Amino acid sequence: MDDRLSESYGIDRRSFLCASAAGAATLALGLWRLHPASAAATAPAVSAPVLSYDDWRDVYREQAAGASTRWSIHSAWRDDVLMLQQQRGQPLMYMAPQDAEARGIRDGDRARAFNDLGAFIAMVKVAPSVRPGQLVVYHAWENYQFVDGKGFQSMIPTPLNPVELAGGQFHLRPMTICMQPSHTDRDTRVEVMSL
C-alpha cells in the first residue's frame, strides 16, 4: 500500500508513516472509498464493508461529539501535571445520567467506547448537561494517555482529506500532525460498555 501511494502521489513515505496506527487505519479506509478499483487488489484486510450511517444509528446508540478544550491549547499542556490535577488526570468521556444508568455505569467508572473502526477506554464523567444519546469527548488527548495507545480518534470514520496528499506544494502536503481528525463533528457513532 505504501509503495503504491508513493508512486501515485509522489509523497515522502517517512512522513506518511509518522501517522499513528489508528490514523493509518482511518486513512486506509478513506482511500479505499476513493479508489475502489485498486482496492480489490491491494486494500488492507477489512472483513466486511463499513456499515452505513443509518445502520450505525441502531447499533451504536451514542453519537460522539468532540469539544475544544479550555485546559490546553490543542495537545499542548494536555499532559501538564497541574492542568491534569484540575480534571481527573486522564481522558474522560461525558455521558448523560440516563445513558450511564442504562449501561450500569457510574460516575468515575472506566468504560470502553467502540464501533466498527476502533475502541478506546476512558473514565466516564456523568453530567446532566450532556444530551441523552450523546457522548462528549474533549479533544486533543495524546494517544499515550490511553490504554494500548488507542485514542479517541481511532473511531472517527471521516476519511483523510485528499488535499493533504497533494505533492510538491508547501501549503498542501502531508504533515505528521495533519493525518488524523482531532474532533468528531457528527459522523461518529459508538456504543459504550462498562469494563
# residues contacting other proteins (CB under 8 A): 32
C-alpha 138: how far from its chain's center? 12
Continuous segment of H or E residues that includes residue 119: strand 119-126
- Interacting residue with other proteins among 81, 168, 169, 171 (CB under 8 A): 81
In the region spanning residues 19 to 78, those forming contacts with other proteins, defined by CB under 8 A, are: 70-71
- Provide the 3-class DSSP secondary structure of residue 98: helix
β-sheet bridge partners, residue 134: 63
Q: State how far the Cα of 109 lies from the Cα of 13, in Å rounded to an integer.
A: 41
Q: Is the dihedral angle over the CA atoms 167, 22, 176, 87 positive or is it negative?
A: positive
Binding mask 82-121 for other proteins (x = CB under 8 A): xxxxxxxxx---x-x----------xx-------------
Point out which span in 55-63, 143-151, 157-165, 171-179 binds other proteins (CB under 8 A).
143-151
Cα separation, 36 vs 75, whole angstroms:
35
Residue of the chain from 6, 35, 149, 159 that contacts other proteins (CB under 8 A)? 149
State which residue, 151 or 181, has the beta carbon closest to other proteins.
Answer: 151
159 scored as a contact of other proteins (CB under 8 A): no
Q: Grid coordinates in use for 78? A: 494536555
Residue 132 near other proteins by CB under 8 A: yes
Residues of this chain that bind other proteins (CB under 8 A): 70-71, 79, 81-90, 94, 96, 107-108, 125-132, 142, 144-149
